[in-house]
């Protein structure tokens, strides 16, 4: 919304939320999320044509277009638990829009939703027909965290789905298209029917995650055979039909979207009587879980089959660099695996506060494959096993091993000689992101394990 405000000075954008602390933070000097470049954009527009407010109903009533960007988490109980999207927030937003509207509006689905959600939303919006017309558009977002502003300034495509079959639907599509046309070339704005737009979003995330699981599955084979996964993915990616992006082997993918969207896709396939298709996509998540547990197993087995009482430095907790977001970060599963093996963890992340790390490790984890059952480690065990510190040197002091779990740039240029001197020997590095200079570290004396590389 901030980028729309920046690129379209003639449009007034009001961002509304029921949370007072969140809106207060958006109106303050310190924005509530860390995202490179966002501060600049907000500062340029805030108070001009970008406003943050708790007056939800008033602003919705006055708007011509309402973008709904509420949370759509995976359902944790009831029908479809562990897989289906929970549309509670979406439904209450739609009811509120219907109740407060006094003029016709375009309602845009911005949150990722299951296919055919627009149909349900349409029903809610029109249920107490007051002579007001609502047009529903699906306008899924493709930005990635950490590069959000660059992605929005120069998107590969903008996707707008609507009721192409009606004149009013076509008019609504054009209205939204004209907004994006302020800065996005026409040929990159794709207009489709509603269901194609909704499904394309789930499909794009599933394809992206599938690439990572594919290369991660190869990394296991590389470790077993002596091939180097970096060389394999480089060679594979040179095929112009495959392309080089999104082929970096890692400890596993994280983030709020990939797993949730694939589970959603799996659920939709199951509901539509397509178990073979559902199983195909499930495998992408299974390989991701396998990659995380493989990382823990490899660490424990190479440290003489026990990490009990050993200090392990965890460098990085967020799900990728340049964000403080920890949703579904592989670090949660890796840390929990190590805690179960009774390791002592010293965790450092440049952006994730201690409070968040502890919250993530204490939270019961929903087992997606067991229809919503949860796995939890005792609270006392977590508190006794984890310490969060403020820099990498403090984390690694006296540690038996270092795990790199996020590819933060600062981890590439640490003084590893100094770190080595402060660790008991043998000193191990388990690089879950393949970012350290293996040759240099081995020269210093470290035993280095990378993902998908020979020892
Ligand atoms: C992802 C998609 O990339 C966006 O296009 C989409 O809009 C977004 O989800 C969403 O649905 O909201 P995001 O989750 O922010 O964006 O981050 P990604 O850059 O996709 O990374 C996801 C995870 O995959 C991270 O844990 C990252 O470290 C991992 N990854 C990525 C790899 O392990 N290897 C790679 O080669 C690339």
The three state secondary structure string of 98-166 is HHHCCCCEEEEECCCCCCCHHHHHHHHHHCCCCCCCEEEEECCCCCCCCCHHHHHHCCCCEEEEECCCC
Q: Helix, strand or coil for residue 248?
A: coil
Helix axes 194-225, 258-271, angle to 10 degrees: 120
Pick the CATH number of 222-450 from 3.40.50.720, 3.90.79.10, 2.40.420.20, 3.30.565.10: 3.40.50.720
Angle at 380 between CA 376 and CA 386, to 5 degrees: 90
Whole-angstrom Cα distance, residue 133 to residue 420?
67
Q: What residue spans define the domains of the chain?
A: 1-54, 222-450
Judged by average pLDDT, the poorest of 77-86, 411-420, 430-439 is: 77-86
The answer, yes or no, to whether any atom of ligand 1 lies below 6 A from the CB of 143, is yes
pLDDT 10s digits, 339-393: 999 999 999 999 999 999 999 999 987 777 776 567 778 889 999 999 999 999 9
Whole-angstrom Cα distance, residue 423 to residue 411?
17
DSSP 364: P
DSSP 45: H
pLDDT 10s digits, 144-198: 999 999 999 999 999 999 999 999 999 999 999 999 999 999 999 999 999 999 9
What string of DSSP letters covers 265-332? Answer: HHHHHHHTT-HHHHHHHHHHHHHHHHHHHHHHHHHHHHTTT--TT-EEEEE--SSSTT----TT-HHH
CB-based contacts of 309, cutoff 8 Å, min separation 6:
342, 343, 344
How much is the pLDDT for 375?
Answer: 73
Residue 219, pLDDT above cutoff 90: yes
User: pTM for the full model?
Assistant: 0.94
CB-based contacts of 38, cutoff 8 Å, min separation 6:
2, 31, 148, 149
Atom 23 of ligand 1, nearest CA residue: 253
Does the predicted interface ipTM exceed a cut of 0.95? yes
Whole-angstrom Cα distance, residue 271 to residue 258?
20
Atom 29 of ligand 1, nearest CA residue: 253
The answer, yes or no, to whether any atom of ligand 1 lies below 6 A from the CB of 251, is no
The answer, yes or no, to whether any atom of ligand 1 lies below 6 A from the CB of 208, is yes
Whole-angstrom Cα distance, residue 440 to residue 392?
18
Q: Kindly list the distances between the CA atom of residue 209 and the CA atoms of 80, 109, 215, 260, 285, in Å, as whole numbers in the listed order.
A: 22, 23, 10, 11, 8
Q: What is the distance in A from the centroid of ligand 1 to the CA of 112?
A: 15
How much is the pLDDT for 119?
Answer: 86
Q: Helix, strand or coil for residue 412?
A: coil
With bands split at pLDDT 50, 70 and 90, how would you rate the model's confidence at 335? very high
* Best of 72, 112, 140, 144 for a ligand 1 pocket test (most atoms within 8 Å of beta carbon): 144
With bands split at pLDDT 50, 70 and 90, how would you rate the model's confidence at 127? confident
How much is the pLDDT for 128?
Answer: 67
The answer, yes or no, to whether any atom of ligand 1 lies below 6 A from the CB of 246, is yes
Judged by average pLDDT, the poorest of 101-115, 295-309, 328-342 is: 101-115
Q: Helix, strand or coil for residue 445?
A: coil
55 vs 82, which has greater pLDDT? 55
The answer, yes or no, to whether any atom of ligand 1 lies below 6 A from the CB of 257, is yes
| Bond prior to 426 in cis (omega within 30° of 0) | yes
SS3 content of the chain, % helix, strand, coil (to 5): 45, 15, 40
Torsion-angle region of residue 445: left (phi > 0), alpha (psi -120 to 50) or beta?
left
Residue 397, pLDDT above cutoff 80: yes
Atom 28 of ligand 1, nearest CA residue: 320
Give me the chain's average pLDDT, please: 95
Q: Kindly list the distances between the CA atom of residue 174 and the CA atoms of 6, 132, 145, 188, 192, in Å, as whole numbers in the listed order.
A: 20, 20, 28, 14, 12
User: 56 with 11: CB under 8 angstroms?
Assistant: no
Judged by average pLDDT, the poorest of 118-132, 301-315, 320-334, 417-431 is: 118-132
Residue in the structure block whose two tokens are 């200090």: 311
Residue 113, pLDDT above cutoff 90: no
Q: What is the mean pLDDT of residues 227-243?
A: 98
Tokens of 84: 């289906």
Residue 81, pLDDT above cutoff 90: no
Tokens of 109: 């689905």
Residue 251, pLDDT above cutoff 80: yes
pLDDT 10s digits, 254-266: 999 999 999 999 9
Burial 72-106 (b: 16+ CB within 10 A, else e): bebbeeeebbbbbbbbeebeebbebbbeebeeebb
Neighbours of 41 (CB within 10 A): 20
Residue 25, pLDDT above cutoff 90: yes
Q: Which residues pair with 135 in a beta bridge?
A: 106
Closest CA to 260 of 341, 319, 317, 173: 319
Q: What is the distance in A from the centroid of ligand 1 to the CA of 31?
A: 22
């Amino acid at each position: 919304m901030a980028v729309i405000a920046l690129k379209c000075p003639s449009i007034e954008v009001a961002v509304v939320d029921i949370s007072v602390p969140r809106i207060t933070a958006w109106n303050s000097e310190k924005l509530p999320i860390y995202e490179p470049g966002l501060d600049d954009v907000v500062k340029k527009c805030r108070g001009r044509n970008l406003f943050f407010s708790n007056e939800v109903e008033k602003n919705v009533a006055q708007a011509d277009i309402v973008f709904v960007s509420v949370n759509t988490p995976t359902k944790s109980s009831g029908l479809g638990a562990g897989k289906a999207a929970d549309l509670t927030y979406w439904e209450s937003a739609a009811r509120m829009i219907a109740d407060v509207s006094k003029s016709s509006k375009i309602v845009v689905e911005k949150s990722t939703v299951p296919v055919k959600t627009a149909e349900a939303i349409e029903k809610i919006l029109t249920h107490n027909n007051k002579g007001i017309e609502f047009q529903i558009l699906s306008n899924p977002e493709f930005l990635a965290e950490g590069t959000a502003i660059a992605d929005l300034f120069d998107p590969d495509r903008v996707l707008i789905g609507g009721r192409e079959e009606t004149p009013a639907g076509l008019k609504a599509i054009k209205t939204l298209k004209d907004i994006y046309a302020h800065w996005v070339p026409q040929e990159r704005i794709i207009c489709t029917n509603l269901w194609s737009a909704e499904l394309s979003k789930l499909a794009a995330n599933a394809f992206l995650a599938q690439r990572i699981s594919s290369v991660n599955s190869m990394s296991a084979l590389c470790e077993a055979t002596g091939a180097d996964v970096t060389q394999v993915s480089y060679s594979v990616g040179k095929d112009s039909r495959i392309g080089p992006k999104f082929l970096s082997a890692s400890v596993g993918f994280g983030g709020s979207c990939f797993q949730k969207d694939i589970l959603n896709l799996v659920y939709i396939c199951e509901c539509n009587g397509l178990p073979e298709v559902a199983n195909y996509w499930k495998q992408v998540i299974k390989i991701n879980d396998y990659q995380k547990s493989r990382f823990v197993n490899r660490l424990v087995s190479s440290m003489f089959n026990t990490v009990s009482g050993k200090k392990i430095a965890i460098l990085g907790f967020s799900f990728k660099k340049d964000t403080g977001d920890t949703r579904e970060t592989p670090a949660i599963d890796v840390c929990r695996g190590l805690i179960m093996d009774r390791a002592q963890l010293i965790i450092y992340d440049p952006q994730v506060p201690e409070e968040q790390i502890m919250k993530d490790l204490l939270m019961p984890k929903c087992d997606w494959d067991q229809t919503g059952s949860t796995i939890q480690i005792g609270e006392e065990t977590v508190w006794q096993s984890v310490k969060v510190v403020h820099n990498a040197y403090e984390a690694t002091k006296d540690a038996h091993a270092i795990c790199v779990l996020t590819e933060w740039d600062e981890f590439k240029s640490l003084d590893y000689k100094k770190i080595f001197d402060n660790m008991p020997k043998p000193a191990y590095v388990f690089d879950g992101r393949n970012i350290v200079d293996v040759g240099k570290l081995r020269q210093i004396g470290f035993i280095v394990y990378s993902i998908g590389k020979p020892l």
